[in-house]
Chain A
Amino acid sequence: MTKAVPGKKIFRWHIAVFLLPAVVVYSLIMVLPLFGTLQLSLYSEVDSKQIFVGLGNFMTLFGDPLWSGQFWNALINNIWLFIVHMCVQNPIGILLAALLSSPVLRFRGFYRGAIFVPTLLSFVIVGFVWKLILSPLWGVAPSLMDMVGLKSLFLPWLGKEAYALTALSLVSVWQFIGIPMMLIYAALLSIPDEILEAGECDGLTGLSAFWKIKLPLILPSIGIISILTFVGNFNAFDLIYVTQGALAGPNFATDILGTFMFRTFFGFQLQLGDTHMGATVASVMFLIILVGVCIYLFGIQTRLRRYQF
C-alpha cells in the first residue's frame, strides 16, 4: 500500500502549460502596450530627445487651464454619455427582455433578431446612417416629423451644442440596446418555472411576479451590464469620431475622453500630435476605468446575493 506523503504537493505542470499560450498572447498584445502607454506618459520630448518628467505631464493636464478645461469638458461629457446609457439603454433593455420572455408574445424570434441586428453593425455605418437621417437637408427626420405635424419641433440636433451629445448618446443606445436585452433575456430564461409557479400559488402573478421574483434573480446580470456599459462608454470614441470628426463639434460639445485622447495623440490638421500628452490622457482614462471597475467588484458584486437553483 502506498501512502501519499502529507505536506508534499505534486506540482501540476499541465496547468501552467495550458495557461501559457493565453498568458503569452494576452501579455504581448494587452499588458505590454498598457505598460508602454503608462511609461510614455512619464516622459516628454524636448528638442527631439526623450526626457523623464515624472508626473509632469499629469500636472500639465490638471494644472494648465488650456489642458484641464478640455479634460474636464471631456470627462463631464463622458459621464453624461454614461448616465444616458444607464437611464435609457438598460431599463429599456430589461423591459424588452421581460416582454420577450413572456410566453404569450408571438414572433418572439423575429423581434429578438431585429432588435439585436444594430449591435452587429459597424460604428461607421450607424454613424453615417443616423447623420443622414437627422440631416436637416436630406434627412428623413424632418419630413417624417412633418407628416405627423411636428415639423416645428425639428432642430439640427447634431449641430446644436445643447443637444448634440444627447442625440449621439441616444444613437449609441439604439445601437447597443440588444446587449442588455440578450443578457437579461438569458437570465430570465434560466429562472426555473417551479419558483414562478410557487409564487403563483402565493398570489404573485404578472407585474408583481416580475418585481418580487424575477428582478431580484436577475440583479447580478444587471450588475454585469452596468459595468460593461461603464467600460464601453469610457472607452468610446468611434461614433463621435465618425459623426462629428476629431474636433467633436459643435464647439467641443460632444468631446469625450476617447476623442480628446485621439486629438492629443495624433494631432489634427495643423496641430501636431503629442504622443506623451496623448499617453497621459490614455493613462487617466485607464485609471478612471480601473477605479470604476474596482468599486463595482469590491463594493457591489460581493454584496449581491446569488441564488442556487
Chain B
Amino acid sequence: MTTKFINATLLAATMLGSASLAQAADVTLTIESWRNDDLAIWRDTLIPAFEAKNPGIKVIFAPVAPTEYNALVNSKLDTGAAGDLITCRPFDLSLSLYDKGHLASINDIAGLANFSDSAKSAWSTDDAKTTFCMPMASVIHGFIYNKDAFKELGLSVPTTEAEFFAALDKIKADGNYIPMAMGTNDQWEAGTMGFNNIAPNYVKGEEGRLGLIDGSQKLTDANWVAVYEQLAKWKPYLGDGFEAQSYPDSQNLFTLGRAAIYPAGSWEISGFNKQADFKMGAFKAPVKNAGDQCYISDHTDIAMGMNAHTKHPVETKKFLDWMGGAEFASLYANASLGFFSLSNHKVSMSDGLAQEFVSWRGECKSTIRASYKILGRGKPSLDLDQWNAASNVIKGNQSPVDAAKWTQERLAKWYKPQM
C-alpha cells in the first residue's frame, strides 16, 4: 500500500515538475497583424530564423483581415486580450495606442539605432523623443504594367502625362485589354492608388504636404485641384462596371492578363509574382513635362510595437531587437517583396520588379501620403474624405473643383492652421 502510494506521489510529482519546467522553458509570443498575406513568410522564414537563435521562445503570427485590424486590436488592447507584439499602423493609430498606455516605449532597444529619424517619425511622439514601434518597411506607389501587352501593342513606358494618356488611348483603341484595372467600389483604391499615387508630382512632394500642415497651402489651390483633374480623366479607361469593381476584382483583372496597367503600391509585388504568368514592369507616376523633377510616394507603412502589458517583456524586447538587425532586414525585404526596408542596413533584393520600384528612390524625391501625418487625425479624417472625393471624381459625380472644396471645408472644420 505505502509503496504504491509513494510511487503514485513520485509519479505525480515528476509529471507536475516536468509540466512546470516545460512552461518555464517555452515562452510563447503572439504577433497581432493585418498582413494575412504574409502568413507563410512569417511561419516559414522569419519565425524559424528567430527561433533558431533564441531557443525557448516560440512565436505565433496571428493576422486578421486588414479592414478589421484597427477596430479589433483596439478593443483587444482595451480588454487586455491582445498579443505581445502589435503590428503598428503609421502615425495616429499607433500614437493613440501609445498615449493610452497600450504600447510601450522601445527607446532602450539597441536595434533602434539602425534607423534614421525620418524612418522613425511615423512611430514617434510629436516631439520625436519617444519611439514606440520598430520600423519595418515602407511601400512605394507607382503603376505596374503588363510587359507582354505593351510589346504586343508597340507601346513604350510613359514618363510624361501626355505619353501616359496616349498609351491608354492606344490600349483602348486596340480593345483587347482593359486599359487600367481599378474600381471605385471600395473607395480606397481611388484614394490610395489614385490620389496618393499621383499627387506628389503635382504638389512637389514634401513641400505640398508640409504646406497643408502649416496652413500655407490649401486643398483648393490649383496644384491640389490638378490631382483631381487628372483622376477625372481616368473614367473612360476603366473597365465596364468599374463602379461595382472591388479591390480583389482589380487585382484579378490585372493578373489574369485582362488589363494592361494597374495603379499600384509596391505591396502588390509578391502576390502578382505568384498570380501573373506574363512579364511585368513598373513605371512611376508620370510627370507633367519631360525633364520635370519627379516625386514619389515612399510611404512609411508598417512597424512592430510591444504591448505595454505583455507578460513576457524580456522576450518581446529580444524579438524587437532582432527585428532591428541586418538579418531581419534582408530576410523580410526578400521574402515580403515590395516592403522596402527602412533601416540603414545594406539590403540587396533579387526580384526585378521590386528593384525597379526601389530604384526610383535614387532619381526622385520621396514623400509620404499627405493625408496621413496629423491631417488624418481629426474628425472627419482627411484621408477618408479623400477616398470618397477621389471615387466621386472618377465616377464623374463631382467636379474636381467641388471635390477639392468639399475636402477643404471639412478639414477646416477641425484643423486650426486651415481655418
B397 touches A161 (CB 8 A): yes
State whether A66 and B413 are in contact (beta carbons under 8 Å apart), knowing that A250-B243, A271-B384, A272-B92 are contacts in the complex: yes
A222 within 8 A of B: no
Of A250, A266, A269, which is within 8 A of B395 by CB? A250
Q: How far is the CB of B385 from chain A (nearest CB, A)?
A: 10
A249: Cβ under 8 A from any B Cβ: yes
CA of A249 to CA of B243 in the docked complex: distance in angstroms?
10
Asked if B249 is at the interface of the complex by the 8 Å CB criterion, the answer is yes
State whether B380 touches A271 (Cβ < 8 A): yes
Compute how far the CA of A273 lies from the CA of B239 in the bound complex, rounded to whole angstroms: 35
Residues 126 to 166 of chain A near chain B (Cβ within 8 Å): 131, 134-138, 155-161
A268 at the interface (CB under 8 A from B): yes
Contacts A161-B397, A267-B71 given; indicate if A137 touches B383 (C-beta within 8 A).
no
- Check B244–A159 contact: CB distance below 8 A: yes
Q: Are A137 and B92 in touch, CB under 8 angstroms?
A: no
Closest chain-B Cβ to A159's Cβ sits at a distance in Å of 3
Residue B316 lies at the interface, judged by CB distance under 8 Å to chain A: no
Report B-chain residues with C-beta under 8 Å of the C-beta of A134.
Answer: 244
Q: Which one, B75, B239, B392, B410, contacts A137 given CB within 8 A?
A: B239
Given A159-B184, A246-B67: A268 touches B241 (CB 8 Å cut-off): no
Give the size category of B's interface with A. Answer: 35 or more
Q: Is the CB of A273 within 8 A of B74?
A: yes
In the assembly, what is the distance between CA of A131 and CA of B91, in Å?
34
User: A250 to B70, Cβ gap below 8 A?
Assistant: no
What A residues does B74 contact at CB under 8 A?
A: 266-267, 273
Chain B residues, Cβ within 8 Å of A274: 379
> A270 with B372: in contact, given A66-B379, A134-B244, A247-B384 (CB under 8 Å)?
yes
B392: which A residues are within 8 A, CB to CB? 251
Q: Which residue of B lies closest to A154 (CB)?
A: B241
A137 touches B380 (CB 8 A): no
Whole-angstrom distance between the Cβ of A1 and the nearest chain B Cβ: 66
Residue contact B243 to A156, C-beta cutoff 8 Å: yes
Residue pair A269, B244 in contact (C-beta under 8 Å): no
A-side contacts of B71, CB under 8 Å: 266-268, 273
Chain B 361-403 per-residue mask, 1 if CB under 8 angstroms from chain A, else 0: 0000000000110001101110110011001100101000000
When C-beta atoms are compared, the residue in chain B nearest to A266 turns out to be: B71
* Nearest CB of A to B24, in Å: 37
Report yes or no: A249 in contact with B241, Cβ–Cβ below 8 A: no
Residues of B within 8 A of A48 (CB): 99-100
Query: Do residues A159 and B379 form an inter-chain contact, with CB atoms below 8 A?
Result: no
B240's partner among A66, A136, A251, A266 (CB-CB below 8 A) is A136
Scoring A244, A251, A272 by chain B CB atoms within 10 A of each residue's CB, the highest score goes to A272
Contact A270 B391 (CB under 8 A): no
A245 on the interface (CB 8 Å rule)?
yes
A251 to B381, CA, bound (A): 15
Q: How far is the CA of A159 from the CA of B187 in the complex (A)?
A: 10
The answer to whether B75 touches A266, judged by C-beta atoms less than 8 angstroms apart, is: yes
Known: A159-B241, A161-B397, A269-B70. A250 touches B410 (CB 8 A): no
Residues of B within 8 A of A272 (CB): 92-93, 96, 377
Cα distance A138–B251 in the bound complex, in angstroms: 13
B376 touches A270 (CB 8 A): yes
Give the shortest distance, in Å, between B39 (CB) and chain A (any CB). Answer: 21
Q: Provide the bound-state CA to CA distance between A223 and B243, in Å.
A: 39
Could you tell me the distance in whole angstroms from the C-beta of A165 to the nearest C-beta in chain B?
14
CB <8 Å contact, B243 and A159: yes
Task: Let me know if A250 and B249 touch, CB within 8 A.
Answer: no
Within 8 A of A (CB), among B187-202: 187-188
Q: Is B107 close to A, CB under 8 A? A: no
* Chain A neighbourhood of B239, CB < 8 A: 136-137
Whether the pair A136, B397 counts as a contact (CB closer than 8 A) is: no
Q: Which of A155, A266, A271 has the most CB of B within 10 A?
A: A271
Shortest Cβ gap from A299 to chain B (Å): 39
Q: Are B383 and A159 in contact (CB under 8 A)?
A: no
CB pair B245–A137 under 8 Å, yes or no, is yes
Q: Could you tell me the distance between the alpha carbons of A274 and B240 in the complex, rounded to whole angstroms?
A: 38
Expressed in whole angstroms, the Cα–Cα distance for A284 and B212 within the complex equals 37
CA distance A274 to B384 in the complex (A): 16
Name the distance in Å between B209's Cβ and chain A's nearest Cβ.
15
Q: How far is the CA of A94 from the CA of B240 in the complex (A)?
A: 39
B206 at the interface (CB under 8 A from A): no
A266 to B376, CA, bound (A): 16
- State A137–B259 Cα separation when bound (angstroms): 12
Check if B253 is an interface residue, CB within 8 A of chain A.
Answer: yes
Task: Produce 1/0 per residue, B78-103, CB < 8 A to A.
Answer: 00000000000001110010011000
Measured CA separation A267–B93 after assembly (Å):
10
Contact between B184 and A245, CB atoms less than 8 A apart: no
B185 touches A250 (CB 8 A): yes
Q: Chain B CB within 10 Å — which of A249, A266, A274 has the most?
A: A249
* Chain B residues whose CB sits within 8 angstroms of the CB of A266 once the complex forms: 70-71, 74-75
Query: Which residues of B have CB within 8 Å of A269?
Result: 67, 70, 188, 381, 383-384
Residues A270 and B381 in contact in the complex (CB < 8 Å), given A66-B410, A156-B243, A251-B388: yes
Contact A156 B100 (CB under 8 A): no
Contact for A245 among B67, B99, B376, CB less than 8 A: B67
Q: How far is the CB of A154 from chain B (nearest CB, A)?
A: 8
Pick the 9 closest A-B CB pairs, nearest first. Answer: A136-B241, A159-B243, A159-B244, A156-B244, A266-B71, A156-B241, A270-B376, A271-B381, A270-B383
A interface residues with partner B (beta carbon < 8 Å): 48, 66, 131, 134-138, 155-161, 244-247, 249-252, 266-274
- Interface contacts beyond A136-B244, A266-B74, A269-B67: sample of 13 additional A-B pairs, CB < 8 Å, sorted by A: A66-B380, A135-B241, A156-B244, A247-B387, A249-B184, A250-B391, A251-B388, A268-B71, A271-B376, A271-B380, A271-B384, A273-B71, A274-B379
Chain B contacts to A: CB under 8 angstroms: 67, 70-71, 74-75, 91-93, 96, 99-100, 183-188, 239-246, 249, 252-253, 371-372, 376-377, 379-381, 383-384, 387-388, 391-392, 395, 397, 410, 413
A-B contacts, 24 listed (Cβ < 8 Å): A135-B249, A136-B239, A136-B240, A136-B241, A156-B240, A156-B242, A156-B244, A158-B244, A160-B243, A160-B244, A161-B397, A245-B186, A247-B187, A249-B185, A249-B187, A250-B243, A252-B388, A266-B70, A267-B70, A268-B67, A268-B70, A270-B93, A270-B371, A271-B384
